[in-house]
Structure 1
Amino acid sequence: MSIPTDFSDRRFLIIGGTSKAGTTSVFNYLAGHPQICATEAKETRFFLDADYPLPSAKRYYKDGPGEYLSFFDFAKEPRGEAWSLEATPDYLYSPNAPRLIRETLPNVRLIFFLREPISRLLSFYQFGKQINEIPQAMTFDQYVNLQRTGSGAYSSRGYCHPAYRALQHGRYSTYLSRFLEVFDRSAIYVAFYEELKCDARLFMVSICQWAGIDWRYFRDYRFEVTNQGVKMRSPRLNQVYYEAKQKARRLVRNRVGLRSILGQVGAKVNVIYRKMNVTNRNEVLISRSTEDFLSRYYGEEAARLKKMLGIEAPWPNRKT
């Protein structure tokens, strides 16, 4: 099948945020669905601002809107109406991403997953160390204070690496408002990481119903958490392992028999891999003053989300 020359020929589904809230797992779950045509790599980062401090193979401002189609293998697309899927969690935080997506893709829907902000901040701190973005000697208190004082590692364009903006990025309502300014509420699906963790099957069924695809695909699905925050002996080996698994899933997504065999073999391989490359994570120590600051800083976020979206965040009340 040839690549369409008009974006109106296709429907696009974009997971736009937030990081450390299950986006990788959900992308992989959806990527195997027969009504989904997913990008080979999870994140295209195509619609990020030109000076947003994350690398990307192609970007709107440099390569033009038509290059977005190059991320999708339309020759392998499923039959019938399908969604073209990608996931770039930092779209949520890129100021011009909402406008660029809206102007480029006439048939698009966006999904955002949110997580209790302090839990996400802790997870980002641990993950940042795992990928060597945060110094191993930096304490959590130092990490938070660095962001409070604005002395993070800024780029020449005035942007701070996302690892050092995680504190403010937990005030989701500020960033979601940009998308609500240019998209109808019906085009935006917001769910919570805590719900995914509690019942992944129900979580995915709800997404399928909203997107109008067959939810029965997940009836007997084996859910596996991907990109989980753990301490790795070799981060590079971890990256190669999960990239190989994602590619294997896509190869068998329309072959039920092979998909079942792959799931059984993959489960056994995963047990061996985790014994080989996963080690115990050190406990994160948080001072009372930092804990009190974070409780105040995020204290009104659940209420702001409820007012904006009309949904209740399943987070514990924080003193303000």
Structure 2
Amino acid sequence: MKQAQTSLYPNVIIGGAPKSGTSSLFFWLGAHPEVCASKVKETYFLGDTENKHNVSANIHKDGLEAYQKFFSHSKGEKIRLEATPVYIYHKLPLKVLPTLEKVPKMIFILREPSDRLYSHWRFNRYRMKNTKMTFEDYLAFRNVPSGWADYLDHTHYIRHIQPYIDTLGKENILVYQFEQIKEDKVAFMKQVATDLGISFEFYNSFDFFHRNQTVAVKNGKLHRIGLKLEPLVPQWLQEKIIPLYLKMNSSKLPKPSDEELKLKEQSKSQFEESNQELAEKFDNVDLALWK
């Protein structure tokens, strides 16, 4: 492909993994004065196909130059940021990103595999309401709704990060763990800021706002409408509206059953080998956080 000018292309992309804190990281970084966050968090612009998530703008029908429109509000910030967590599983970014004049840094934030699987199941069962299958069926990959990807394979993270290492260079890959956020948000964001070469002091007194938490949605149709409207609402207003909306259209999730917790613990063993490979590639990955 022809080499592109990158004046308004993203130079930092949160590329995965879903249900691992990507929304929080995007908004926390986007609040930094040295960061210009994309107008839409998940652009899906480089998705492998044109789909419902990127029908308004994508590389297939609009060409690469249209990617810059997501950053037309940039005022020369050091970082132009977008976050499409499913990029970790897509092939097209691997073809397009190396053609840019400056290869962007890819951030992959990962969650302990069994926790991610359980969160993904509860998210779809209780928030999106697009499945009624049990956690046991989910782990056995039985009765999976049409169109669902192989989420078990997707949780072997290194299988999907390795192509990015091979294509973009390890120096352009940053890997973090979701558990680091839970342990100490401030320390985590200071580390990310340092790694990206922006001021870490900004997070000393930062007002963190949790994003995309899984709740039991009462009205699925209303929730889907809300998701469509969310990109149109400024971040400062979202922070005021979302808590009120969740009070109106959500309830507490059912408490995990003993059987679900047992299945969750049993599922850990299948990821031991790929977790070890990940830790060998990235020194900062602490597998003790995933015990």
Which of 148, 164, 170 pairs up with 1:161? 148
- 1 CA distance for matches of 2:205 and 2:144? 46
Aligned to 2:64: 65
Aligned to 1:280: 252
Map 1:93-242; keep pairs closer than 5 Å.
93-104=89-100, 106-132=102-128, 134-136=130-132, 138-146=133-141, 152-153=144-145, 160-162=147-149, 165-235=150-220, 236-237=222-223, 240=226
- 2 CA distance for matches of 1:96 and 1:103? 12
Which of 74, 79, 103 pairs up with 1:77? 74
- 2 CA distance for matches of 1:239 and 1:125? 21
Kindly indicate whether the alpha-carbon contact (under 8 Å) linking 1:118 and 1:294 is maintained by their aligned counterparts in 2.
yes
Computing the radius of gyration from Cα coordinates, the structure with the larger value is 1
Question: Would the alpha carbon gap of residues 292 and 68 (structure 1) be closer, same or farther in structure 2, given more than 3 Å must change?
Answer: same
Kindly indicate whether the alpha-carbon contact (under 8 Å) linking 1:232 and 1:238 is maintained by their aligned counterparts in 2.
no
Aligned to 2:27: 28
Instruction: Among all aligned residue pairs of Structure 1 and Structure 2, give the percentage whose two residues are the same amino acid.
Output: 25
- 1 CA distance for matches of 2:185 and 2:248? 27
The Cα shift of 1:273 comes to: 4.2
The Cα shift of 1:113 comes to: 0.1
Question: Would the alpha carbon gap of residues 84 and 243 (structure 1) be closer, same or farther in structure 2, given more than 3 Å must change?
Answer: farther
The Cα shift of 1:190 comes to: 0.6
The Cα shift of 1:246 comes to: 8.2
- 1 CA distance for matches of 2:224 and 2:180? 26
The Cα shift of 1:314 comes to: 3.9
Q: Which of 228-237 and 15-24 deviates more? A: 228-237
Question: Would the alpha carbon gap of residues 135 and 153 (structure 1) be closer, same or farther in structure 2, given more than 3 Å must change?
Answer: closer
The Cα shift of 1:216 comes to: 1.9
Q: Give ranges in structure 2 of 5+ residues lacking alignment.
A: none
Q: Give ranges in structure 1 of 5+ residues lacking alignment.
A: 155-159, 252-261
Kindly indicate whether the alpha-carbon contact (under 8 Å) linking 1:12 and 1:105 is maintained by their aligned counterparts in 2.
no
Question: Would the alpha carbon gap of residues 28 and 115 (structure 1) be closer, same or farther in structure 2, given more than 3 Å must change?
Answer: same
Amino acid at match of 1:231: A
Kindly indicate whether the alpha-carbon contact (under 8 Å) linking 2:106 and 2:174 is maintained by their aligned counterparts in 1.
yes
Give the TM-score of the pair, scaled to structure 2.
0.85
Give the TM-score of the pair, scaled to structure 1.
0.78
The Cα shift of 1:187 comes to: 1.2
- 2 CA distance for matches of 1:289 and 1:208? 38
Kindly indicate whether the alpha-carbon contact (under 8 Å) linking 1:37 and 1:85 is maintained by their aligned counterparts in 2.
yes
The Cα shift of 1:277 comes to: 2.8
Kindly indicate whether the alpha-carbon contact (under 8 Å) linking 1:192 and 1:314 is maintained by their aligned counterparts in 2.
no
The Cα shift of 1:117 comes to: 0.4
Amino acid at match of 1:83: I
Kindly indicate whether the alpha-carbon contact (under 8 Å) linking 1:11 and 1:82 is maintained by their aligned counterparts in 2.
no
SS across alignment from 1:16: strand
The Cα shift of 1:240 comes to: 3.0
Kindly indicate whether the alpha-carbon contact (under 8 Å) linking 2:37 and 2:82 is maintained by their aligned counterparts in 1.
yes
Which of 255, 267, 275 pairs up with 1:294? 267
The Cα shift of 1:166 comes to: 1.7
Aligned residues: 284
